[in-house]
Structure 1
Amino acid sequence: MSHDDFAFEPVKGLPETPPEGERILWQGRPDAWALALESMNLKWVMGYFVLLAAWRLVAAIDLMPFAQAVAISTPFIVMGLIVCALLAIVAWVQARATVYTITNRRVAMRVGAALTVTLNLPYTQIANANLDLRRRGTGTIALELMGETRFSYLVLWPHVRPWHLRNPEPALRCIPDAERVAGILAEAAETRVAEPQVARADAPVAGVAAE
């Protein structure tokens, strides 16, 4: 029997039912393979082990037969494959546990495999959004926040703009069809920010006595 780890959510990816007037415009999650390549640096990790194997081969080739030198270099390749497989599994688990949500009022990010947190980012707190588009159509949309809103880089990782450690920017990482999603986000944010905000005045109007 299948089990939904997030069955407690009233709406997928959100900790509570959206208020009246809020509409979900898009939901998605990272592409697991793209996440492995970009956030886990899969190519660089494998390249490192290949370099170790090549160095071992070159160092040993003058001391023993070629076949034996290859044999003692191969374990580095095997270790590299094992490490890359583990990183790919981590990326798959992270992608499966993640739900990005764009509504007409905010961006919500349910992230974290072991420790799940949900970030609610109203458009009024987002100063800018930056799209990093890749060749396969996947891309990352980083959200630059205004004011004193801050998040921990380690808590957000890998759902954060790479290398922005001082001012971490939450990011919709490695999402498919990123250019279209960025358009949805931009249109929703522009519409929301342009709406007039009406504040409720609880205090009595000057010159009118409260009964």
Structure 2
Amino acid sequence: MTAFSYSVFVRGGPVMWLLVALGVTALVVFVERALFLHRGQIRSTEFLNGIKNLLQKDRLMEALTLCEETPGPVAKLVKAGLRHAQDDEPAMRFAVQEAALAELPVLERRISSLAAIAQIAPLLGLLGTLLGMIQTFWYFNQGGSYATPQALAGGMWEALLTAAAGLVVAIPAHLGRHFLAGRVRALVQDMEWVGNELLRYLSLDHRKDGGRAP
């Protein structure tokens, strides 16, 4: 940060430091969640086809091992279904749904904090604006009829800078929250599709083929 930019930043007052802390927090949360969701996104069709091929060869343990080695909620969903492949269809469906319900909070973890930051940052900016205007009128009142523009400029700087900084933090946080929510929806759709396909295969095709129970 150059001397000029730092001097401008300081004119925003103490609220600017709160906004910086919120901005850093939002950035850390977004990067961590984006990387986590990226690791959990797999090629569901290819993965499920590999599981089916192993089951057709009666290699259930290898299928379970593949689920263990594959990251993401889809693999955990398939693993839950394979562990109950010998049960009837309602029992298998319950196991898959239970695994899905356990994974949803993990996927959505800390995303709500971005929404909170997007809501709080403009309010802090508004607080800084009000404090700056209060300071401006206080200087004006102290100066009486001879208040100089230099004396009044400090409060105006604080009012404008904090309002702008609040929006600078809130807008990316809001966009980041929507981006992460979209990634979560994509993973949930993959989980739903894989769960239905696995149940259909285990309850119909696999048993017709004489697949052995685990």
Shared topology, TM-score over 0.5?
A: no
**Normalised by the shorter chain, which TM-score bucket?**
0.3 to 0.5
What TM-score, normalized to structure 2?
A: 0.32
Bigger relative contact order, structure 1 or 2 (CA pairs below 8 A, ≥6 apart): 2
The structure whose residues are more often strand, as a share, is 1
